[in-house]
Amino acid sequence: MSDDCIFCAIVDGEIPSRTVYEDEETLAFLDANPLAPGHVLVIPKTHHERLNDLPEALSGAVLDALYQLVSPVETAIEADGTTVAFNNGAAAGQEVPHVHGHIIPRFEGDGGGPIHAITGSRPELSDEELDSIAEDIAGRA
């Protein structure tokens, strides 16, 4: 629990939420300012800022809750698909510093973009640079 965290306050029942799913480790509720009807947030019940900060077992629990919810959300909202994503860190647009996965219902022709639209332009990378990046990440994973 973090004292000034709005999502910890939801877990503790101090702030109301429209809960759609709960298990021992995770909670899911409707986004208060939805991008589409049925926009759901999935959070771990304990306070961790970013995905990187989650204990490994908890990362599995969060993914499992997302998995449990994708079909119910799509069916309830009659959506054609969903964008499932994390804003991971302030640079990526994360405003609430308690890790949360978004499930955003999508509809044919809804005018929204794919995840590929989130950066302004694509970097020009040589084969050597790509090889080096892949090697660096693989060496740390």
Is 90 a binding residue for ligand AMP by CB under 6 A? The answer is no
**Quick count: other Cβ atoms within 10 Å of Cβ 36?**
18
Q: Which is nearer to ligand AMP, 58 or 85 (CB)?
A: 85
Binds ligand AMP by CB under 6 A, chosen from 60, 67, 75, 96? 96
| CA–CA separation, 87 and 115 (whole Å) | 11
Tell me the window of 25-33, 50-58, 63-71, 113-121 that interacts with ligand AMP (CB under 6 A).
25-33
Q: How far is the CB of 57 from Zn ion (least distance, A)?
A: 18
User: What is the pattern of x (binds ligand AMP, CB under 6 A) and - over residues 31-60?
Assistant: xxx-------x-------------------
| CA–CA separation, 137 and 84 (whole Å) | 23
Supply the DSSP string of 62-113, one letter for each residue.
Answer: HHHHHHHHHHHHHHHHT-SEEEEE---SGGGT--SSS--EEEEEE-TT-S--
Is 118 a binding residue for ligand AMP by CB under 6 A? The answer is no
* Contact status, residue 10 vs residue 29, Cβ threshold 8 Å: yes
Sites of contact with ligand AMP (CB under 6 A): 6, 15, 17, 29, 31-33, 41, 87, 93-96
